[in-house]
Amino acid sequence: MNKPIEIIRKTREHVLKLIEGLSIEELNKVPANFNNNIIWNMGHMVAAQQGVCYRRAGLELHITPEFFELYKPESKPERFITVQELEEIKTLFFSTIDFLEQDYQNGCFDSYVAWTTRYGVAIDGIDDAITFLPFHEGMHTGYIMALKRAIKS
C-alpha cells in the first residue's frame, strides 16, 4: 500500500471519531470568527483530493460536478447539509480513496499536469500529489478540531 494513502485513510477515520456525538446542527454551525463549518471541511477534503489527483490529470472525478462545486477550494457553506448528505460524505471519504489507490496501481495518471499549490509546493506528478494530500488533510482536520472546540464552548 502507498504510505500517503494509508495516512489519508487514518486521518479520515480520525475525523469520523472527532465528529461522533455531534448533531447535524452542530456540524452545520459556522461559529463566530470562522468562515466555514465541520461538514464543509469534510466535503472539501473529498473534493480537493479529487481535484488534486483527477482533475489535474484530465480524468473524470469520482464525485458529481455538483458535489465538487459545493466543496471546491474557495467555496464556503451555502446551505444546511442534511443527514443524508453527511452520510454521502462519509461514504465518499473512503470510496474516493479506494478509487485513488486502484487507479494509481492501474497507472491511470499518465497525463498529470504539473502545478504549484497555493502553499508554494510544486506538484510535478501524481506521486507528488499523493504525497501532498496528507498535509492538506491534516490542515483541515485541525480546522475541524478548532470548529468542534468553538461549537462546544
Residue 103 has pLDDT above 80, yes or no: yes
**Do the Cβ atoms of 85 and 91 come closer than 8 Å?**
no
Q: What is the pLDDT of residue 152?
A: 86
Quote the pTM value. 0.96
* Residue 87: closest CA among 16, 5, 13: 16
* Angle between helix 3-19 and helix 38-53 axes, rounded to 10 deg: 160
Is 26 exposed, middle or buried, given 0-12, 13-18 or 19+ CB atoms closer than 10 A?
Answer: middle
Residue 88 has pLDDT above 90, yes or no: yes
Q: What is the pLDDT of residue 90?
A: 98
Domain at 14, CATH number: 1.20.120.450
Q: How many domains does the chain have?
A: 1
Q: What percent of the chain has pLDDT over 70?
A: 99
For 8-17, what is the mean pLDDT? 98
Q: What is the pLDDT of residue 8?
A: 97
The mean pLDDT of the chain is 96
Q: What is the pLDDT of residue 2?
A: 87
Tell me which residue range forms the domain holding 33.
Answer: 3-152
Residue 153 has pLDDT above 90, yes or no: no
Residue 1 has pLDDT above 80, yes or no: no
